[in-house]
């Protein structure tokens, strides 16, 4: 077979995997619209896709997955480093030789009756010093169509790779075909044998058994975070689970901010914020991943390596995120939402009343009296970033953008202030290392439990998190760098009646405005154990629909709760053993001292 590349490493690898997986055909993806339309048509015929109304959602599709394959599966995600201790206590580890032996047998014959797709893709703009090229081999046309949206993909990537270029090997299969054939299987998967395995030293990703985005779109969490975080450690940069936005003040001051939030905690909403404060504007650069490098000017520069958004649909509406709604009006893939009778999508929290007739996320007629939701809580939309009406013109600039502030946040119903500025870089790293949030439906498991999620990287750091903390701290050791300020935010505090204290959404622009005023040396602040918080009469909070008492409550730190938090942080830190940096112990001791201990 003639392949559209002269890269011998790639040709040899494709042949090796074809011999192992035994596909009926091999297809090198060119990334064209014609290819996408052809694959989408095949998926419609198979029942994986349903074409939505061209009046309601032009060139858009609805998919529903197998009920067992709806989210990332953290207990089946592995870091297969050569030494177990390098994976650390927050990752599942397996010996790389044993893992490859196990998975090789699973891959054997797994593509019989299917096509092997070769997806050349680049995370980041072609030619950027930030970017990394990967090749994903998959037997899932659903993966191909989504990867075309989420990454730079196709012939141009092969041309950039050239005859001698290196690439990250990404292998994926949904699992062995059923004995009876697959003509009636819309969503093949193998839930009994799911493995999402990462090999840090050799920069490889092997995924088997799942077709869900976070497990199968291997350029996303697998490459852009788990493998990239290891490369970043080795090469002196950062690969982070962060949004990236551009904020412009009424005076024309421009600041770029990143923010780390666990999945489904408002990251996309903040990245696409529509400010309520007059004269302020927010433009989106990225909603999920940010790669950060030191620029020649000593500042940290950030870039979103993705080309699309893979957002959570439930709760998204014109009231909560109008930019997201305007982005997905066309050319969008919806997965596990409900389907309306007139060929549109629907989910809990969307604008308007529930339609009288719905197909639920599993493809069944929905009973409005049911206690179960019509859409899955982790239902997703996949859409190109360039479609966003408020995408920043420089969102795809290969140089990246200079970062002024880094935000950390999660779901905390008490204790953590609305916003606090760290006292130093080391204190900011401490705040990031102790982040905690109520769990959401973005990962399989219990919902609503409080868990520590340092830097929102708990499921995504590809090496020992104690070493990860040390890597972050190392930037503070370089006194020549002009580092961003670090802020902790919490939109989710509640009162005694379990009602949110802060209105959130567009009003979050008030917090961003206060941060800008702090960066520009204008805003006053008072000190708390978590850092510096706004004073009660700060003008950025004038005109809010909440009274002054509730506003003050948002930034209060209860000493009894803080004492419990200190105990929890101590237990959290103990899990990292002797790899926990001494600077973080110093910060914990300072927090204890601030609480009178």
Which pLDDT score, from 0 to 100, does residue 545 have? Answer: 85
577 or 449, greater pLDDT: 577
Which pLDDT score, from 0 to 100, does residue 331 have? Answer: 98
Lowest mean pLDDT among 2-6, 209-213, 469-473, 543-547: 543-547
pLDDT digits (tens, 9 = 90+) for 236-277: 999 999 999 999 999 999 999 999 998 767 899 999 999 999
Contacts of 247 (CB under 8 A, 6+ apart): 254, 255, 256, 257, 280, 281, 282, 512, 516
Contacts of 139 (CB under 8 A, 6+ apart): 21, 23, 110, 111, 114, 115, 116, 117, 172, 173, 174
Residue 183 has pLDDT above 90, yes or no: no
* b/e per residue 148-166 (b: at least 16 CB within 10 A): bbbbbbbeebbeebeeeee
| Structure tokens that stand for 233 in this block | 């450690």
Q: What average pLDDT score do residues 9-19 get? A: 98
| Structure tokens that stand for 273 in this block | 């914020």
Beta-carbon-side half-sphere exposure of residue 430 (alpha carbons within 13 Å): 23
First to last CA, the chain: 72
Q: Could you state, in order of their start, the residue ranges of all structural domains in the chain?
A: 8-30+74-235, 239-307+396-594, 309-386
pLDDT digits (tens, 9 = 90+) for 482-502: 999 999 999 999 999 999 999
Q: Per the annotation, where are the binding residues for GTP?
A: 264-269, 380, 411, 505-508
Q: What average pLDDT score do residues 192-221 get? A: 97
Q: Per the annotation, where are the binding residues for Mn(2+)?
A: 221, 241, 288
Burial class (CB in 10 A: 0-12, 13-18, 19+), 461: buried
User: What is the spatial distance between Cα 301 and Cα 117, in angstroms, rounded to a whole number?
Assistant: 34
Highest mean pLDDT among 318-327, 433-442, 548-557: 318-327
Can you name the residues that pair with 26 across neighbouring β-strands? 116
Fold match, 239-307+396-594 / 309-386: no
Q: Write 495-498 long-range contacts (CB < 8 A, 24+).
A: 495/550, 495/553, 498/413
439 or 339, greater pLDDT: 339
Q: Please report, for residues 272, 353, 395, the alpha-carbon distance to residue 325 in angstroms, rounded to integers and kept in the order given.
A: 10, 16, 19
Q: Which of 225, 212, 405, 395 is CA-nearest to residue 310?
A: 212
Residue 577 has pLDDT above 60, yes or no: yes
Query: pLDDT band at residue 450, thresholds of 50, 70 and 90?
Result: confident
Asked whether the beta carbons of 198 and 94 are under 8 A apart, the reply is no
Q: Give a three-class secondary structure readout of 332-377.
A: EEEECCEEECCCCEECCCCCCCCCCCEECCCCCECCCCCCCCCCCC
Residue 173 has pLDDT above 90, yes or no: yes
Which pLDDT score, from 0 to 100, does residue 184 have? Answer: 60
Q: What average pLDDT score do residues 217-246 get? A: 98
Which pLDDT score, from 0 to 100, does residue 178 have? Answer: 75
Which pLDDT score, from 0 to 100, does residue 447 have? Answer: 57
- Specify the 3-state DSSP secondary structure of 307: coil
Asked whether the CA dihedral 306, 310, 312, 316 is positive or negative, the reply is: positive
Query: pLDDT band at residue 177, thresholds of 50, 70 and 90?
Result: confident
Which pLDDT score, from 0 to 100, does residue 296 have? Answer: 96
Among the CATH numbers 3.40.50.261, 3.30.365.10, 3.30.70.20, 2.170.8.10, which is that of 309-386? 2.170.8.10
Residue 399 has pLDDT above 90, yes or no: yes
| Structure tokens that stand for 343 in this block | 């060929």
Q: What average pLDDT score do residues 46-67 get? A: 97
Q: What average pLDDT score do residues 392-400 get? A: 97
Rg (CA), the chain: 24
Residue 440 has pLDDT above 60, yes or no: no
Lowest mean pLDDT among 143-152, 337-346, 432-441, 526-535: 432-441
- Specify the 3-state DSSP secondary structure of 194: coil
Which pLDDT score, from 0 to 100, does residue 595 have? Answer: 78
Query: pLDDT band at residue 182, thresholds of 50, 70 and 90?
Result: low
User: What is the spatial distance between Cα 518 and Cα 527, in angstroms, rounded to a whole number?
Assistant: 14
CATH for 8-30+74-235? 3.40.449.10
Catalytic positions are 265
Q: Per the annotation, where are the binding residues for substrate?
A: 72, 212-214, 263, 378-380
Contacts of 123 (CB under 8 A, 6+ apart): 131, 132, 133, 134, 151, 152, 219, 223, 224, 228, 305, 306
Q: Per the annotation, where are the binding residues?
A: 72, 212-214, 221, 241, 263-269, 288, 378-380, 411, 505-508
Query: pLDDT band at residue 551, thresholds of 50, 70 and 90?
Result: confident
Asked whether the beta carbons of 99 and 78 are under 8 A apart, the reply is yes
Average pLDDT, the chain: 95
Query: pLDDT band at residue 441, thresholds of 50, 70 and 90?
Result: low
- Specify the 3-state DSSP secondary structure of 283: strand
Which DSSP string corresponds to 426-490?
HHHHHHHHT-EEE--TTBSS-SS-EEE-GGG-TTT--S-HHHHHHHHHHHHH-TT-BPPEEEEE-
Among the CATH numbers 3.30.56.10, 3.90.228.20, 3.90.550.10, 3.40.50.720, which is that of 239-307+396-594? 3.90.228.20
């Amino acid at each position: 077979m003639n392949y559209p590349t002269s890269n011998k490493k790639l040709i040899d690898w494709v042949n090796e995997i074809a011999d192992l997986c035994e596909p009926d055909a091999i297809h090198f993806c060119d990334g064209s619209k014609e290819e996408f339309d052809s694959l989408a048509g095949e998926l419609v015929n198979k029942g994986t896709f349903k074409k939505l109304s061209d009046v309601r959602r032009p060139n858009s599709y609805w998919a529903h997955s197998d009920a067992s394959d709806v989210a990332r599966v953290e207990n089946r995600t592995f870091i297969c480093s050569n030494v177990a201790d390098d994976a650390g206590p927050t990752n599942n580890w397996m010996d790389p030789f044993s893992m490859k032996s196990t998975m090789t047998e699973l891959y054997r014959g797994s593509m019989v009756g299917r096509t092997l797709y070769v997806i050349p893709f680049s995370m980041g703009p072609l030619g950027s010093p930030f970017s990394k090229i990967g090749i994903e081999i998959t037997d899932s046309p659903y993966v191909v169509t989504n990867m075309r949206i989420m990454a730079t993909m196709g012939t141009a990537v092969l041309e950039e790779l050239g005859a001698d270029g290196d690439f990250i090997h990404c292998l994926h299969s949904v699992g062995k075909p059923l004995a009876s054939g697959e003509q009636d299987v819309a969503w093949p998967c193998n839930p009994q044998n799911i493995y999402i395995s990462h090999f840090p030293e050799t920069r490889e990703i092997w995924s088997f058994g799942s077709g869900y985005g976070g497990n199968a779109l291997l350029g996303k969490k697998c490459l852009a975070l788990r493998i990239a975080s290891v490369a970043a450690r080795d090469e002196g940069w950062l690969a982070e689970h962060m949004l990236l936005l551009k904020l412009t003040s009424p005076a024309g001051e421009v600041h770029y901010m990143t923010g780390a939030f666990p999945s489904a905690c408002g990251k996309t909403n903040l990245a696409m914020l529509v400010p309520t404060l007059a004269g302020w504007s927010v433009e989106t650069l990225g909603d999920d991943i940010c790669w950060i490098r030191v620029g020649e000017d000593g500042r940290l520069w950030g870039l979103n390596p993705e080309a699309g958004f893979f957002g959570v649909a439930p709760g998204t509406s014109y009231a909560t995120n109008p930019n997201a709604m305007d982005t997905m009006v066309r050319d969008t893939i919806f997965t596990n939402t409900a389907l309306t009778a007139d060929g549109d999508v629907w989910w809990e929290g969307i604008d308007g009343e529930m339609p009288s007739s719905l197909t639920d996320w599993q493809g069944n007629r929905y009973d409005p009296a049911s206690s179960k939701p019509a859409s899955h809580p982790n239902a997703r939309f996949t859409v190109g970033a360039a479609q966003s009406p408020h995408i920043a013109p420089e969102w795809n600039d290969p140089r990246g953008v200079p970062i002024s502030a880094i935000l950390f946040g999660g779901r905390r119903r008490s204790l953590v202030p609305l916003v606090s500025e760290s006292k130093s870089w080391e204190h900011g790293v401490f705040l990031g290392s102790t982040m905690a949030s109520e769990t959401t439906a973005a990962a399989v498991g219990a919902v609503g439990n409080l868990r520590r999620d340092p830097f929102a990287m708990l499921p995504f750091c590809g090496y020992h998190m104690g070493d990860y903390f040390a890597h972050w701290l190392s930037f503070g050791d370089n006194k020549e760098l002009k580092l961003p300020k670090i802020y902790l935010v919490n939109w989710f505090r509640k009162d005694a009646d379990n009602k949110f204290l802060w209105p959130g959404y567009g009003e979050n622009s008030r917090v961003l405005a206060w941060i800008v005023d702090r960066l520009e040396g204008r805003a006053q602040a008072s000190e708390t154990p978590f850092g510096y918080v706004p004073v009660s009469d700060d003008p950025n909070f004038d005109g809010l629909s909440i009274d002054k008492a509730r506003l003050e409550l948002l930034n209060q730190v209860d000493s009894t709760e803080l004492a419990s938090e200190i105990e929890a942080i101590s237990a959290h830190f103990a899990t990292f053993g002797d790899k926990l940096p001494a600077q973080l112990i110093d910060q914990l001791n300072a927090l204890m001292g601030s609480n009178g201990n």
